[in-house]
Copies of this chain bind each other. A is one copy, B any other.
Amino acid sequence: MALNPIPDLLDALRESLVGVTDGQVAQYIPELAHAEPGWFGLALATLDGHVYASGDADRPFTLQSVSKPFVYALALTDRGLDEVVSRVGLEPSGEAFNATRLEPGTGRPPNPMVNAGAILTTSLVDDGFPRILAGLEAFAGRVLGVDERAYESEVETGDRNRAIAYLMRTAGSLRADAEQSVRRYFRQCAIQVTARDLAVMSATLANGGVNPVTGVQVVTRDTASHVLTVMATCGMYDFAGEWLLRVGLPAKSGVSGGITGALPAQLGIGLFSPPLDERGTSVRGIAACEELSARFGLHLMRPPARTASAVYLTENGDRLLVRGLQGDFGFAAAEALTRDVAGHATQGRLLVLDLDRVGRLHPVAVHLLGTLIERLAAYGMTTVVADVNRRGLLPQAHREFPGLDAARHWCDASLLRA
């Protein structure tokens, strides 16, 4: 068993939702209709480039509407915020993804997350589809393919999107050819990704535009924050308000069953499960996001603490590993500590966790650190805790001392005995 409990947590979360059989696989084109309802993958990318994956996280599917925020990022890059905003609005429409309402006077679609706005956004990216594909590859950090059969099917059935494009032509907001714009949009929707890709793509947005795996600055910090904002207010269509309340992550879903989500400065999430609810969003995907948000404390409006949590390494001898913790620990900080400690684990070593300056441990942090302590014990490594206030924050530890000096003293003695 690996020391790091996070993969197990993700597996457990995924398994707890496998039994959810609500929802219907999209039927309007054969390429989506052939998806198996049981497919279910999830992935989580940290901002130092580590990706956790579970289930069908490497099974390819078409991006569909999940492409919208990333192509919006490319349009912002090519045209600048002011021009893009003059062509596509920023307001949640309270309407369905395929609504046809345009802003009176300007003809602007309400926002870039509904189909109208996405088609217009696509027309604003310079140099056409090759640039779009290259941009999305930079977000994913790898070469991506296009499902040409899905593309052809969309071309055949996409009359509503044609209607929308022609309405925007008439309103003067779409200046490119309608059929060509719609086809480019269909092609972008047919790009193939995996849940792992979606996690890295949103982690790139959460990371100020820098792909945390490749280190490439895909878009600027400002563009990344603009895109996250629009995902937060408009990404889930007429479900945006409740989504932000219950899940608290900027996110975007697609009709193939994918969801991408990001917690700014924290991490990116990718989900894939084809059965959709009546709004066209993955049923298991929503449930998994709600669970991740609740269990892992990932909510924009509920940061783990007012003084941000942190880890610092105070000392590091051969036999003794000392880590001082400070602030309130949520998932991201606990994850970082867990991985750091696991990377330094050696049989026979002693670990001291100094909790004096820790405020509050979110339950996910207690669970992660507690599991780590138990696994270290099984591996042959003892953990002790120092806390002047003796709060018993980590009961899984071998002992708790009223301060770092006392803890060190015991450790020194213990090491001498060994």
Contacts and interface: CB of A to CB of B under 8 A. Distances in A.
Interface of A: 1-6, 9, 46-48, 50, 85, 89-95, 100, 110-111, 159-160, 162-167, 169-170, 178, 206-208, 221-222, 225-226, 228-230, 232-234, 238-242, 244-245, 248, 250, 263-267, 295-310, 312, 326-333, 335-336, 338-339, 341-342, 345, 357, 359-360, 362-365, 368, 371-372, 375-376, 379
A297 B364 contact: yes
A255 B368 CA distance: 34
A302 to B, nearest CB: 4
A295 B365 CA distance: 10
B330 A305 contact: yes
Given A266-B308, A310-B326, 11 more contacts: A3-B342, A46-B336, A85-B242, A163-B167, A208-B302, A221-B302, A230-B245, A234-B241, A300-B300, A304-B330, A305-B328
B5 A265 contact: no
Nearest to A166: B163
A85 B232 CA distance: 20
Nearest to A329: B304
B312 A326 contact: yes
A115 B265 CA distance: 35
Copies of this chain present: 4
Given A166-B160, A233-B240, A335 B305 contact: no
A373 to B, nearest CB: 10
A174 to B, nearest CB: 9
Contact of A160 (B4, B46, B167, B335): B167
Given A306-B208, A310-B309, A241 B90 contact: yes
A338 B5 contact: yes
Nearest to A95: B94
A241 B92 contact: yes
Interface centre among A6, A297, A327, A379, by most chain B C-beta atoms within 10 angstroms, is A327
B327 A91 contact: no
B245 A299 contact: no
Given A167-B100, A331-B297, A342-B4, A309 B302 contact: no
Contacts of A309: 304-305, 307-310, 327
A301 B368 contact: no
Nearest to A263: B332
Contacts of A265: 303-308
A332 to B, nearest CB: 5
Nearest to A311: B307
10 contacts: A90-B245, A100-B163, A163-B164, A163-B166, A166-B166, A222-B302, A265-B306, A305-B329, A307-B359, A309-B310
